Amino acid sequence: MGSVPDMTWMKVHTYINEVDRPKIVEGQQVIVRMDALPAVEFKAEVEKIGVLCHAYSNDDDRKVFNVDVKILVSDERLKPGMTVSCEFVPETVSSTGS
């Protein structure tokens, strides 16, 4: 058995600190950059924000919320498991967001 990921639409599974939660809303614009190609920007938006915060890790008491970010344009350079960084653009909500 194996699975083939759908490479058409990629998502980023990330987190935000609990103190930043009021600043993030679904539909908000996000700029995603691959660590391998930091000069290349991918337009994205916040798709879902977790409702419960949790500890960052067993060794770290920081509280975070899970966030799913959907990349809006398909690109063959994006592959599952790549490391990226997300820049949340303040005060921007798309018409498809809630």
pLDDT in tens, 1-47: 887 766 677 899 999 999 999 999 999 999 999 998 899 999 999 99
Quick check: 97 pLDDT over 80? no
Q: Cα–Cα distance between 68 and 62 in angstroms, integer?
A: 19
Domain 11-93 - what CATH class?
Answer: mainly beta
Between CA 28 and CA 89, with CA 77 as vertex, the angle to 5 degrees is 15
- Dist CA 66 CA 17 (whole Å): 9
Q: What is the pLDDT of residue 80?
A: 83
User: What pLDDT digit, counting tens, does each position of 45-90 carry?
Assistant: 999 999 999 998 888 889 999 999 999 998 888 888 889 999 999 8
Question: Rounded distance, CA 34 to CA 64, Å?
Answer: 22
Q: Which of 63, 58, 65 is nearest to 88 (CA)?
A: 65
Domain ranges of the chain: 11-93
